[in-house]
Each structure stands twice: as C-alpha cells, then as structure tokens.
Amino acid sequence: MDLEIKNLHVSIDDKEIVKGVNLSVKHGEFHVVMGPNGSGKSTLAKAIMGHPRLKITQGEIIVDGVNIADLTADKRAKLGIFLQFQNPLEIEGVGFVNFLHTSKRSVTKGDVDVNQFMGEVDSWTKKLKITNGIVGRSLNQGFSGGEKKKAEILQLALLKPKLAILDEPDSGLDIDAIKVVAENINEIGEKQEMGLVVITHYNRILSYMKPKFVHVMVDGKIVAEGSTELIEKLEKEGYDSFVGK
C-alpha cells in the first residue's frame, strides 16, 4: 500500500492544527515522525484514520492512487490502514477477545476460524509478554498504561494491516517493555511487509528499530526530513533548532 499525503490542512472546531503536510509512505517503508508536544502529530494520525470530528479543509490523502478523505474510519480499516491509539479507549462490557475476533472478521470481510485465531492470540500474547489475563477482560478496562500499549500491538499483529500508524507506542512503557514492543513491531512489520509510521517524542524506542525516513513536525508542518541522522541531531539539539523553520 502506498500512502501519499498532499498539502493536508486539518482543523478541529475551526482551529487549524495540521497546516499543509506532505508525506509519502511507499509499500513496506518505515517512517518516523517526531516533534514536540502540540505539533499536530496525533491529529495527522487521526486524520489519516478518518476521525469524524477532524475537518480536512485542504489537501488530499491518497492511498494507492485513490483519495480516501471522504471514507469513514471503518472503510479505511478495511483498506488496510491501522492506527495505534496514543490513549486507547476503555469500553465497558465489551470482551477483549470478542472485540479482537469481531475486528478480525471486519477487516478480513469474512469468517475467521476461531481455533486458529485463538492460537494466534495466545502466541502473540506470549511474545508481547502480556500478563494478568487481560485477554479475558473488557476492552482496555483496568489495563495499566503498558498493558494498553501492548494490547494495541497485539491488535496490530492480529489484524495484519498494510499500513500502520503507531502513535507513541513507547509512552508509558518501562525500559524493558519498550524493547519488547519495539522488537515485536519490527517482527510484525517485516512479516507483513507493512508500511510503518511511528510517532514518538523519544529516540529510545528507535534504538531498537531501523526507520528509513525521519520527519520532524513542528506547529502543524513537517519542517525537516531525512534519515536517522536527524534523530541524532534532535538528541543533541532538541526541537528548538527546528522551531520557526
């Protein structure tokens, strides 16, 4: 899947947050978007996924040559786009396994063999070192911050999207969990040959990953692009050197 974002402007309640972003993610490419708090990274991610409150005032989101800006989130999910939420929602009474199974059936548009699916759930649960029986609970209810993030990566592994946008997969994780999550993202990404866009503030998770492209987003715009040397620059100079560019 190829994603092409052209001059994207996104507003919420008439306030413009994303102010003309251009971004190209080709099939299987690994991109990182970094930027200070409030720079519009999460809004960009939600706009790609189709959040109904966000208004695209200008520009296009093109997937495999087709502008998807008018598609609802479920249709984008069925195309193969996945958003890992920064703050996954807790939903009372919706069993986590039922949710996983329903989601899998939705995105694959067909029946899912329950036994095989549960085998996959079990396997990825172990790989992600998910404990405390969260699989048997209601969706994200009572999960710790780290468990929520791992549960999102579990969904990524099971739903097998073509393009995944991961919004701060490292926030709230301890140093061991960051490594586990990063290694699993690497494995899933390679197996599925999926395009990956990882949004993060910090370079710790990136020390376990090999992104090809790095973008720096400040005040709703991408102000710098390059390869991993940008990460080193950010580490040394912080975001200040990019502000006002």
Within the chain, strands assigned E span: 3-12, 15-25, 30-34, 54-63, 66-67, 81-84, 163-167, 195-200, 213-218, 221-226
Instruction: Kindly tell me which residue out of 9, 19, 55, 78 binds other proteins, with binding defined by CB under 8 A.
Output: 78
Instruction: Determine if 107 is a binding residue for other proteins (CB under 8 A).
Output: yes
Residue 20 or 95: the one with the smaller Cβ distance to other proteins is: 95
What Å distances lie between residue 57 and 61, 72, 117, 201, CA to CA?
Answer: 12, 16, 41, 27
Alpha-carbon distance 44 to 49, whole Å?
9
Least distance from C-beta 59 to other proteins, angstroms?
21
Least distance from C-beta 49 to other proteins, angstroms?
5
Residue 67 or 138: the one with the smaller Cβ distance to other proteins is: 138
Residue 70 or 92: the one with the smaller Cβ distance to other proteins is: 92
Entry field: residues in the chain:
245
Alpha-carbon distance 49 to 71, whole Å?
9
Least distance from C-beta 108 to other proteins, angstroms?
9
Span near other proteins by CB under 8 A; candidates 105-113, 123-131, 187-195, 218-226: 105-113
Q: Which residues contact 49 (CB under 8 A, 6 or more apart)?
A: 73, 76, 77, 81, 83, 165
Alpha-carbon distance 108 to 104, whole Å?
6
Instruction: Determine if 91 is a binding residue for other proteins (CB under 8 A).
Output: yes
Whether the CB-CB separation of 18 and 41 falls below 8 Å is answered with no
Instruction: Determine if 138 is a binding residue for other proteins (CB under 8 A).
Output: yes
Span near other proteins by CB under 8 A; candidates 32-40, 59-67, 83-91, 224-232: 83-91
Nearest 5°: the CA angle 182, 184, 186 is: 70
Residues 139-158 that bind other proteins (CB under 8 A): 139, 155
Q: What string marks each residue from 16 to 55 as x (binds other proteins by CB under 8 A) or -?
A: ------------------------------x--xxxxx--
Instruction: Name the site residues for other proteins (rule: CB under 8 A).
Output: 46, 49-53, 72-74, 76-78, 82-83, 85, 88-89, 91-95, 98-99, 102-103, 105-107, 138-139, 155, 159
